[in-house]
Amino acid sequence: ELLAARRQLAVLWGQRTPDFGDVTGDPLQLPAVPEFEVLAQLLDATPELARLNGEQRVREARVRLARSQARPDLDWQVGVRRLEANDATALLGSVSLALGSAARAQPEIRAAEAELSLLDIERQSQALTLYTTLADAHGRYRAAQLEVARMRSDVLPALARADAAAERAYRAGATSYLDWAQLQAQRSDARQQQLAAALEAQTALIEIQRLTGQPFVADSTAQVGP
């Protein structure tokens, strides 16, 4: 079970094998994450889009080269001729223009432009996929983060007070042990719910870190609470 979890974590980090070591920490400590609009601006630096951006520059250069070959080849020559009859010299020049260059270059131009268009479609599709994935991960993280905070500030303190009151009532003989045990069970369930929300947040955080390349880290001095 632990090995399966490590493999899943490695996949989330874009690795085939879990070559990282064990770490310790409190899953309830969740770092502050910027707004989605700020994170979305970091997507252009992802390896997926960086590769496509580099390929786009190469294909744009191919289009420019193909178009340059469509220009007519202009050849000119200049020379000097001596005129013996009147003992003079004359400057002579000739210009030749090769016709048909544009027509011959059209297939290569169309092929280069088609490759560039296909790459643009691929890039837009990849960017949309990354954008959607980031939006989903950010939404899940924020929702889970709010749930952890709600349990910490409202639910668990209220259950702790109710548990303490039930214990006093039980020891005073004012209530049954079953009533007290039920409150203890509710408190334990609430802690499990908080932990599940924290783990959901941590999973979403890993996805956000993978997409943006930013190591968001929780403040170790922050108060975690019950």
Share of the chain above pLDDT 90, in %: 39
Query: What pLDDT band is residue 3 in, cutting at 50, 70 and 90?
Result: low
Of the listed ranges 2-11, 125-134, 175-184, the one predicted with least confidence: 2-11
Distance CA 81, CA 93 (A): 10
What pLDDT score was predicted for residue 126?
Answer: 84
Q: What is the pLDDT of residue 159?
A: 95
H or E element at residue 111: helix 101-150
Measured distance CA(35)–CA(126) in Å, rounded: 22
Distance in angstroms (rounded) separating the CA atoms of residues 8 and 20: 12
Rounded to a whole number of angstroms, the distance between the first and last alpha carbons of the chain is 27
Q: Is the pLDDT of residue 203 over 70?
A: yes
CB 78 within 8 Å of CB 93: yes
Q: Which residue has the higher pLDDT, 69 or 82?
A: 69
Q: Which helix (H) or strand (E) holds 156?
A: helix 156-171
Q: What is the pLDDT of residue 190?
A: 95
Place of tokens 């209220």: 158
Residue 39 CB coordination number (10 Å): 20
The better pLDDT of the pair 125, 67 is held by 125
Which residue is listed with tokens 């709010």? 146
Give me 207's structure tokens: 């996805």
**Residue of 134, 103, 115, 100 lying closest to 58 (CA atoms):** 115
User: Does the domain at residues 28-212 carry the CATH identifier 1.20.1600.10?
Assistant: yes
Please tell me the pTM assigned to this model. Answer: 0.65
Q: Domain map of the chain by residue range?
A: 28-212
Alpha-carbon distance of 16 to 18, in angstroms, equals 7
Residue 58 has pLDDT above 80, yes or no: yes
Quick check: 226 pLDDT over 50? no
For tokens 């020379």, name the residue. 79
16-34 pLDDT per residue, tens? 676 655 555 678 889 999 9
User: Hey, what are 87's tokens?
Assistant: 């003992």
**Angle, CA 133 vertex, CA 129 and CA 138 arms, to 5°:** 150
CA 201, CA 32: separation in Å to the nearest integer? 11
- Taking residue 38's Cβ as centre, other Cβ atoms within 10 Å add up to 11
Residue 175 has pLDDT above 80, yes or no: yes
Phi and psi at residue 96, to the nearest 5°: -125, 140
- With bands split at pLDDT 50, 70 and 90, how would you rate the model's confidence at 223? very low
